[in-house]
Each structure stands twice: as structure tokens, then as C-alpha cells.
């Protein structure tokens, strides 16, 4: 495979989520995303391996957070060595990378088909104490649905007081 095809894939993953002004530099998250999206992980080669390889001094200096295309190619050699057992198999890995699609936006937010207000005001989905606030038709009960009324509690502020209206009476 040519460097141009590999560079196209590299740039597409670099630009993912970075907007139109993204520079052709790849961070560790996008490096891992490349292998995850192209389904290149297996039992011998895991995401932990890519994290370790990305941080190795052969790939980049310790103070750097991103790699350029040349450093990316060096990292692919180390990945091929880990995955296939030999650095010379880097061509096989590059072939799989170039044959794959670009970055995928997995887990994107899905828009509900029912309107937001309709879902939030559907009283049949209410549970617990909120369910008690509405009748069968979905109409609110007002204060009766919000406050627990106890007949004895309405007589005074102490529910268990037995001497109601006895304060002014003398024995």
C-alpha cells in the first residue's frame, strides 16, 4: 500500500472531532480509536498494548502528547510486532488499515420519535408518588394529589393529641 492511502486514513482519524482546523497530529485516544473502529484488536493485541506503544520513546518524546505521520508509521511497526510477532508484517497491518473505513461516530445521540413534551407529560409512565397526583384520564388532582390529608391532622398540629378543645374548659 502507498503512503498516500495510509496518510489519508491517518488524517481522517486526526480530524475526527477536531473541526475543520484540525492539524494532522494524532493523540492517544484517536490512535486507539483507529484500532477499535477498524476492529484490529484481538486476544494478543489489546487497547492496553496501543496505549503502551503510543507512549514508548521510540515513537515520541515523553513531553509530547501527539504524534505526526512519521511517528505514526513507527508506532504501526511496533503494533505489527505485537500483533503478528514480527515488525516486517507491518505491511499486513497497513493493508487492513487502508482497507477499512474512516472513523465512525459510534454511540451518537438518537432523536426520539415522540416529542419531548409528549414523553414528559405521559402520565401512564409515571411511577411512585408522582403516579398518585393524576387520575385515570391523566388529569391532575390538584392539592389532593400532592398533600396527604389526614382528618385527625386537620384538627390540630399534633396528630395524636386527645384533649382537643379542652384548654379553656375547667374540670
pLDDT in tens, 26-68: 899 989 998 888 888 999 899 999 999 999 998 888 888 999 9
pLDDT in tens, 86-113: 888 888 888 888 887 777 776 656 665 6
Query: CATH number, domain at 86?
Result: 1.10.238.10
Boundary of a domain, candidates 39, 65, 99: 99
How many structural domains is the chain composed of? 2
- Pair (57, 129) in one structural domain: no
| Domain annotation covers residue 171 | no
| Domain annotation covers residue 167 | no
Give backbone dihedrals phi and psi of 48, rounded to 5 degrees, phi first. Answer: -65, -40
| Domain annotation covers residue 121 | yes
- Integer Cα distance of 168 and 152 in angstroms: 20
| Residue range of the domain that includes 125 | 117-148
158 pLDDT band, cuts 50/70/90, is low
- Pair (78, 134) in one structural domain: no
Q: How far is CA 44 from CA 39, 41, 151, 157, in A?
A: 13, 8, 72, 72
- Integer Cα distance of 139 and 123 in angstroms: 9
Amino acid at each position: 500500500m502507498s503512503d498516500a492511502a495510509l496518510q489519508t486514513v491517518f488524517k481522517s482519524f486526526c480530524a475526527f472531532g477536531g473541526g475543520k482546523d484540525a492539524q494532522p497530529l494524532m493523540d492517544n485516544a484517536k490512535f486507539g480509536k483507529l484500532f477499535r473502529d477498524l476492529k484490529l484488536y484481538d486476544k494478543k493485541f489489546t487497547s492496553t498494548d496501543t496505549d503502551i506503544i503510543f507512549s514508548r520513546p521510540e515513537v515520541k518524546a515523553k513531553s509530547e502528547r501527539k504524534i505526526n505521520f512519521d511517528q505514526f508509521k513507527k508506532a504501526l511497526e511496533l503494533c505489527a510486532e505485537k500483533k503478528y510477532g514480527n515488525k516486517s508484517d507491518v505491511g499486513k497491518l497497513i493493508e487492513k488499515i487502508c482497507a477499512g473505513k474512516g472513523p465512525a461516530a459510534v454511540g451518537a445521540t438518537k432523536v426520539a420519535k415522540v416529542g419531548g413534551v409528549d414523553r414528559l407529560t405521559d402520565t401512564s409512565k409515571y411511577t411512585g408518588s408522582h403516579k398518585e397526583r393524576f387520575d385515570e384520564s391523566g388529569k391532575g388532582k390538584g392539592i389532593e394529589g400532592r398533600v396527604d390529608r389526614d382528618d385527625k391532622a386537620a384538627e390540630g398540629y399534633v396528630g395524636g393529641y386527645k384533649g382537643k378543645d379542652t384548654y379553656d374548659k375547667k374540670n
